[in-house]
Amino acid sequence: MLTEEQRREGAQALFKAEHDRIPIPQLSKTYPEIELDDAYAIQRMWAELHMENGERHVGHKIGLTSRAMQKASNFTEPDFGHLLTNMMYKDGDQIPADKFMKPRLEVELAFIMGEDLEGPDVQVHDVMRATEFIVPALEIIDYRTEVPRQIADTIADNAASGGTIMGGRPVRPFDINVRWIGATLSKNGIIEESGVSAAVMGHPAAGVAWLTNKLALVGNKLEKGQIVLAGSFTRPISVEAGDVIQVDYGELGGIGVSIV
């Protein structure tokens, strides 16, 4: 377990790495005694540093929702991070590559909360009832530390989240089969990845239920209007300046951005 001062140092180091675009050594190397509670505390302090600089908290992201990614991380449950105003992009945007270190994209769905939702014991049907819209989204994955990383490194580093791109057609949760939303991701005209939303824990809302119950353990909840990225149903693809990205969600429309 780390001291509050060590946690604060870790958050400030990650904040500076993001600003300078220079990765720092893994926090698990700097602080070998780091635990998961420390990692989430560092993540929260990192978000607070952003909010002290004028950003707002707009929601949450859920990661490690597939069994394959959990095995790769030697972890047995998802993780989560924060979404802030400076992380948000929309369909048609030109996204500066130099804002990130080694950006990658994942295909996801975003749940827009229509009412507050608080655990414990939240289930999929509770999430569906509390959700106003489901919207196509991409997550920009980025690392502020060196690799390879332990799970504590990833969690402290905002669960590897660098940004969110939203677009397509918002739908109400009971107007579509949320488990079977498919998508293809193309880079420069070539389909690189495809997937279906049921790959996220069997149902994308299952990840949101997990997050709600996890937040309840620290006296927090999902709030009306917040955005929740439910987890990826494709592998991440690397992007760089000059790439043009198009994601086709079928009847939910698409998202197109360029990396500049």
Calculate the alpha carbon distances from 156 to 11, 101, 181, 230, 245 in Å. Answer: 8, 17, 31, 19, 29
Look at residue 82 and tell me whether its pLDDT is greater than 80.
Answer: yes
Domains of the chain: 57-259 (3.90.850.10)
Q: Residue 213: what are its φ and ψ, rounded to 5°?
A: -70, -35
User: Taking all residues of the chain, what is their mean pLDDT, rounded to a whole number?
Assistant: 96
Per-residue confidence at 72, pLDDT binned at 50, 70, 90? low
Asked if pLDDT for residue 221 goes beyond 80, the answer is yes
- The Cα–Cα gap between 59 and 49 comes to 16
CB 103 within 8 A of CB 128: no
Least confidently predicted of 17-26, 73-82, 176-185, 213-222: 73-82
Judged against a pLDDT cut of 70, whether residue 195 lies above it is answered with yes
Query: What confidence score (pLDDT) does residue 69 get?
Result: 62
pLDDT at position 66 over 90: no
Residue 74 predicted with pLDDT over 90: no
> 133: number of CA atoms within 13 Å, CB side?
14
Give 228's contacts (C-beta < 8 A, 6+ positions apart).
59, 60, 61, 62, 110, 111, 113, 208, 211, 222
Question: Residues 41-47: what's their mean pLDDT?
Answer: 98
What are the residues whose beta carbons fall under 8 Å from the beta carbon of 178, sequence distance 6 or more?
Answer: 109, 128, 134, 197, 203, 204, 205
The arithmetic mean of pLDDT across residues 180-200, rounded, is 97
Q: Is the pLDDT of residue 153 over 80?
A: yes
- Confidence check: pLDDT of 110 > 90: yes
- How much of the chain exceeds pLDDT 90, in percent? 95
The pTM score is: 0.96
Q: Which residue has the higher pLDDT, 156 or 67?
A: 156
Amino acid 246: pLDDT: 98
Size of the chain, expressed as the number of residues it contains: 260
Sorting pLDDT into bands at 50, 70 and 90, what band is 38? Answer: very high
70 pLDDT higher than 80: no
Q: Which pLDDT does position 75 carry in this prediction?
A: 76
What is the per-residue pLDDT for 105? 98
Residue 179: CB partners within 8 Å, gap ≥ 6?
Answer: 196, 197, 198, 202, 203, 204
Tell me the C-alpha distance between 92 and 115, whole Å: 29
